[in-house]
Amino acid sequence: MTAGFFFVDPKQRDSGVHDMNKLANWATVFTMLALVLTAPLTLSAETVATINGVYDVNGHASDFVPAGYSYATNGVVVYQPYLGASSADWDTPSLFIINSSGAAMTGVSLTAYAYQIGSTNYGDAAIKFLPDIAANTVYQYVFNDTPGYAACGPYPDVLFSYDYDDSLGCSASDRPGNTEITFRATLASGPFAGPIHSIFSPTTNFTGSFVGYEGLDENGYAESGWDAHSSTPGGTLAEITTGAVPTPEPSSLALVGAGLLGLAFARRKNQK
C-alpha cells in the first residue's frame, strides 16, 4: 500500500452501504412507530362558552349579561368601606363565566397557579369549587378571600384574595405575581355533554395580549398602571372548549424510548 492511499474492497464497500441503508430503514420504522403510538387521539374541540376577566367589579354585571340571560355570583362584599361606598369594590379581580352552551355546567372549579418565577408566591396553587351554572347564565366569580387590602404580606396561598395586588405587598417593588387559571366543568347534557375546560392567564389568553385583570403589570408587580380603578370592561379573556384538561403522558416518553432502544438493537445487530 502506497503511503497516503488505501484500497477498499468493492464488496465490503457495497456491504457497508447496504448495512447503512438497513440501519436507516430501521430508524425510520422505529421513529414512525413511536410517533404513531404517542400521537394523542383527539377530536376537534368545540367552543361552548367564554370567560371575561376584569379588574374592579363596580358596574360590570350589566356589561356582561346578554339579554335573556340570568345572573348569579358568589357575592360581592364591601371590600374597602373606608374609601366610601362608591369605591367599595376597588382592587378586586373578577371573572365572568358566560354559559352559552345550552346545557348546565356541573362540577365547576377554578384552579389558580402562581407561574411567574421570582414572584413572592411562585409555585403556590389554590382551587375554588363553584356551584352549577345553568344554561344561559352568567356567573360572576369575585375574588374575595382574605387577606386583602392592608395585609401587605407575604401570605401564601391567597391567590383568590380581594385586593390581590396588595395581598402580598403594598408597594411597586413588591411582586405578588400573576396567576394562571384553569377552568374545569362538565356539560350535563346536549351534543357536547362531557368535560369542558379552559386555561388562561393575564399574559396568555384569547386576546393575544396582556390583560391586567389581577391588578398587576405584565411582570407581576403591584401598584402598577393596571391598578387604576378604571372599571373598563375587558373583552373575551378565554374560550371554554370541549374535552378534558390536557395532561402530560409519561407513557409517551416510554414509547419514544422504546423506539430508540430498537434503533440501538438494530445497530448492534448490523455490527455483528
Share of the chain above pLDDT 90, in %: 37
- Which of the listed ranges 77-86, 195-204, 221-230 does the model predict with the highest average pLDDT? 195-204
Cell numbers placing 83: 374609601
pLDDT digits (tens, 9 = 90+) for 72-87: 988 765 444 434 445 5
Count CB atoms within 10 A of the CB of residue 86: 8
Scan for cell 370541549, then name that residue. Answer: 242
pLDDT of residue 83: 43
Strand pairing class (70-73; 137-142): parallel
Q: What is the 3-state secondary structure (H, E, C) of the chain?
A: CCCCCCCCCHHHHHHHHHHHHHHHHHHHHHHHHHHHHHCCCCCCCCEEEEEEEEECCCCCHHHHCCCCCEEEECCCCCCCHHHCHHHCCCCCEEEEEEECCCCCEEEEEEEEEECCCCCCCCCCEEEEECCCECCCEEEEEECCECCCCCCCCCCCCCCCECCHHHHCCCCCCCCCCCEEEEEEEEECCCCCCEEEEEEECCCCCCCCCCCCCCCCCCCCCCCCCCCCCCCCCCCEEEEEEECCCCCCCHHHHHHHHHHHHHHHHHHHHHHC
Cβ atoms of 201 and 149 within 8 Å: the answer is no
Give the residue-averaged pLDDT of 236-253.
77
Judged by phi (left if over 0) then psi (alpha if -120 to 50, else beta), residue 220 lies in left
Largest CA distance in the chain: 100
Amino acid of residue 15: S
As a whole number of angstroms, the distance between CA 94 and CA 4 comes to 79
pLDDT digits (tens, 9 = 90+) for 92-103: 788 999 999 999
- Closest residue by Cα to residue 63 from 230, 192, 178, 224: 230
Cell numbers placing 211: 390583560
Task: Give yes or no for residue 30 having a pLDDT over 50.
Answer: yes
Give the residue-averaged pLDDT of 228-255.
70
pLDDT of residue 47: 95
Which of 152-156, 240-244, 250-254 bottoms out in mean pLDDT, i.e. has the lowest?
250-254
Cell numbers placing 231: 372599571
Cβ atoms of 198 and 183 within 8 Å: the answer is yes
Task: Give yes or no for residue 89 having a pLDDT over 70.
Answer: no
Task: Give yes or no for residue 20 having a pLDDT over 80.
Answer: no
* Between residues 137 and 261, the one the model is more confident about: 137
pLDDT digits (tens, 9 = 90+) for 115-159: 999 998 899 999 999 999 999 999 999 888 876 555 565 565 689
Mean residue pLDDT of the chain comes to 76
* Between residues 7 and 68, the one the model is more confident about: 68
Give the residue-averaged pLDDT of 20-40.
56
pLDDT of residue 145: 82
- What predicted TM-score, i.e. pTM, was given to this entire model? 0.72
Judged by phi (left if over 0) then psi (alpha if -120 to 50, else beta), residue 59 lies in left
* Between residues 32 and 173, the one the model is more confident about: 173
Confidence of residue 5 (pLDDT cuts 50, 70, 90): very low
